Structure 1
Amino acid sequence: MTEHHRVAIVTGGSRGIGRAVALRLARDGHTVHLVYREAADEAAEAVEEITAAGGRARAHRADVADEAAVDALVDDVAEQDGGIHVLVNNAAVIDDRLLLGTRTAGWERVLRTNLTGPFLTSRAVLPVMLDQGWGRIVNISSNSVRIPGPGQTAYAASKGGLEAFTRALAAEVGHKGVRVNTVAPGKVRTDMTTAVADLLGGDGAGTRWGVPEDISGIVGFLVGDEADYIQGQTITVDGGRLVMRDRAGRGRAS
């Protein structure tokens, strides 16, 4: 099997990191199925950009927290393309607020999208991947698991659970040809974070925020054949922020 005949599903694929991942996988020869919930125009633009460059892509509207919608999506993709080789679980929501101000509904919304969503999509694609004897699942986490900010209890908990989910699933399916790994970005400049990035700047001289392409590159590697010996790992992509913190706890690189 060559990468040029592989089929990929990218959730949250219309904007930011998801869009960059979709474009990268398309350039690598994958047929890409972008999943979006609300950003229909952005999804259409991403598909148009891929197809204009000679790639193959299709957009699907679905809520990854909706079990029926996920099952229908996977059935549609598998029927259309005859297989599913790559799943990138990128869709996520943020609802930052201090714990005392967090309502149960808000907590559950974050966990349902960020953790239950990847559970549903992974469960749906696994029968296809196991039948093929080959598959790649990449979950997008966050450095907020290790250095959360105030108000990130729900978000950090959901991403921490996602990393544990990665390890457990890797132990289940690794011997059957399916590789499951996590990428944990640091501060990445997207359309949702540009205002904050401009306000805060870097953490010191010569530092910068990441860009979506910093993340899509490692995802592109993990879903390829050269990453076959990488399993159940969380790979941090944060410009060194995690290891360059001073004793006062202030990050010095991003």
Structure 2
Amino acid sequence: MTPETERETEGTRVAVVTGGSRGIGAAICRRLTGDGLTVHLVYRDADDAAERVSKEIGAAGGLVFRHKADVSDEAQVRRLVDSVVEQDGGVHVLVNNAGVIDDRLLALTRTAQWERVLRTNLTAPFLMCRAVVPVMLEQSWGRVINISSNSVRQPGPGQTSYAASKGGLEALTRGLAAEVGHKGIRVNTVAPGAIRTDMTADLSARLGVSPEGAGWGLPEDISGLVAFLASDEADYIQGQTFTVDGGRLAMRPRGSKSGA
């Protein structure tokens, strides 16, 4: 755990962001610290990227702490949450952003590969929620924001495990919202479309599609909505999934016939 700036934290809301070292997670960390929250940036192995993001936030006057942890590991999750609560007294916002893509046709997917995707994309958010929700219940206030994907509704070939894991995450959102909504905790999902990140750049190269082309969004297109859902203004929003994909789901594909 590494502080990047010294600043009074009493009365400041505390956020935990998993997968916060790059892409969408890094943008969320920047936005939440810019809004005055203390952010605990959680990452698994991208040491240089996590340090770079933390220094950027510190230089901008934000307060961020880095935690290296595998959030699919139950013991590490418990140590992480205990550490944050011991330091800052609570957790007000949890953003479950950490995820992996391992695209391959179902017939060619080994059980270990399937389980890795589900453990990272679904079990890890379950573990984080289970550890953080009791803290939020004591506060009678909290925000859980899960990062899904529009691949749940429009999966491409080879995305069976990824789409299944993210579909489960959206179901987890609705189930948890029903359990804790009357206690002042709001649980919602943001489902990005094609966003330019390191992870999607690798995928684009394999698919032969340029991430610089039309139809691609930026991590900041997601972080703004996450910041809103983390705020008091979102108090009447519960158990919802918000797709942010530039209208891909709403617009008819080119070449489709009228009424098709």
TM-score when normalising by structure 1: 0.92
- Superposition pairs of residues 16-27 of structure 1, within 5 angstroms: 16-27=23-34
- Cα contact 1:14–1:34 (8 A) shared by 2: yes
Q: Is the 8 A contact 2:191 2:241 kept in 1?
A: yes
Q: Report the CA distance between 1:53 and its aligned residue.
A: 1.0
The CA RMSD over aligned residues, in Å, is: 2.2
What amino acid maps onto 2:75 in structure 1?
A
Q: Which residue of 2 aligns with 1:200?
A: 209
Match of 2:78 among 60, 67, 71: 71
Q: Name the residue aligned to 1:224.
A: 231
- The CA distance in 2 between the partners of 1:248 and 1:54, in whole Å, is 49
Higher mean C-alpha deviation, range 239-248 or range 163-172: 239-248
The letter for the 1-side match of 2:209 is: L
CA contact (8 A) 2:196 2:211 kept: no
Say if 2:117 is the partner of 1:110. yes
**1:73 deviation in Å?**
0.1
* 8 Å Cα contact 1:143-1:186 kept in structure 2: yes
Q: Give the Cα–Cα distance (whole angstroms) in 1 for the partners of residues 49 and 211 of structure 2.
A: 28
Are the aligned partners of 1:4 and 1:30 in contact in 2 as well (CA < 8 Å)? no
How far does residue 191 in structure 1 lie from its aligned partner after superposition? 2.0
Cα-to-partner distance string for 1:225-252 (whole Å, 9 max, x where unaligned): 10000000000000000111338679xx
C-alpha separation in 2, matches of 1:46 and 1:141: 22
1:96 equivalent in structure 2: 103
Q: Tell me if the contact between 1:221 and 1:227 (Cα under 8 Å) persists in the aligned partners.
A: yes
- Looking at structure 2, the residues matched to 24 and 218 of structure 1 have their Cα atoms a distance apart, in angstroms, of 10
Distance 2:11 2:27 in 1: 18
CA contact (8 A) 2:114 2:161 kept: yes
Q: 2:140 aligns with which of 121, 133, 137?
A: 133
Report the alpha carbon displacement of residue 46 of structure 1 after superposing the two structures with TM.
1.0
Give the secondary-structure state (helix, strand or coil) at the position aligned to 1:193: helix
What is the identity percentage for the equivalent residue pairs of Structure 1 and Structure 2? 71
Runs of 5+ unmatched residues, structure 2: 1-9
TM-score (norm 2): 0.90
Q: Is the 8 A contact 2:16 2:42 kept in 1?
A: yes
Q: What does residue range 50-199 of structure 1 map to in structure 2 within 5 Å?
A: 50-194=57-201, 196=204, 199=208
The alignment covers a number of residue pairs equal to 247
Letter in 1 for 2:199: M
Shift of 1:51: 1.0
Q: For structure 1, list consecutive stretches of 5 or more residues without a partner in the other structure.
A: none
The 3-state SS of whatever aligns with 2:31 is helix
Q: Distance in 1 between matches of 2:82 and 2:255?
A: 51
Residues 62-106 of structure 1 deviation map (CA, whole Å, 9 limit, x = unaligned): 111100000000000000001100000000011100011000000
Matching residue within 3, 8, 12 for 2:19: 12
Q: Deviations over 1:15-35 (max 9, x none)?
A: 000000000000000000000
Q: Is the 8 A contact 2:200 2:211 kept in 1?
A: no
Give the C-alpha shift of residue 219 in structure 1.
0.2
